[in-house]
Amino acid sequence: MDTPDDDDRAVGADDEAERLRRALDEQREQYLRLLADFDNFRRRAAREHDVAGREGRRAALLPLLAVLDTLERALAAGSTDRNFYDGVAATHRLFVNALRQAGAEPVESVGRPFDPNLHEAVATAPPDGVKPGTVAREVRRGWRLGDELLRPAQVVVATEPEPSDRWR
């Protein structure tokens, strides 16, 4: 036979069980929020690490491109000393390979349509065998690091000659 005390205890036990269930649910929700926060933190830290690495490579590679430009000018100038020229050419190859190993790639320009996102027009020239709007010559090679442009290529763009003003 149930007594009123037994009923009160049963109601009290039910209330306590419900309170504990709510507390457990709150703890579970707090745990899931913390887990999501940590996962977001980990993704953000990985993204920031990638950006910092890319910026570090960019900062290290940009000044080296001036050295590469000097090697390329030396090769273009040539030399009467074959051994000297061969040494500069070997150094140039090593330098380009090192840049590529660091993730840099040259921008292909000559014979391609002028793209202001990749090229900087420094001059124009008559279209000698190429379509107008095409890069006719590269003055300074452009480089990219992954999808990012390190520096644009300086190029000469083929353009139609201006029509002469016959009405003057």
Q: What does pTM read for this prediction?
A: 0.69
Q: Residue 48 — left, alpha, or beta (φ > 0 → left; ψ -120 to 50 → alpha)? A: alpha
Q: Answer yes or no: CATH 3.90.20 is held by domain 1-102.
A: yes
- Residue pLDDT, tens place only, 58-70: 999 999 999 999 9
* Stretch(es) of the chain classified as CATH 2.30.22.10: 105-168
Instruction: Indicate the CATH number for domain 105-168.
Output: 2.30.22.10
pLDDT tens over the chain, length 168 residues: 556 666 667 677 888 889 999 999 999 999 999 999 999 999 999 999 998 988 999 999 999 999 999 999 999 999 899 999 999 999 999 999 999 999 999 999 999 999 999 999 999 998 888 889 999 999 999 999 989 999 999 999 999 877 665 565
**CA-based nearest residue to 114, from 95, 131, 91:** 131
The string of DSSP codes covering 88-105 is: HHHHHHHHHHHHHHTTEE
With contact defined as beta carbons under 8 Å apart, do 64 and 99 qualify? yes
Nearest to 160 by CA among 120, 119, 131: 131
Q: Where in the chain is the domain with CATH 3.90.20?
A: 1-102
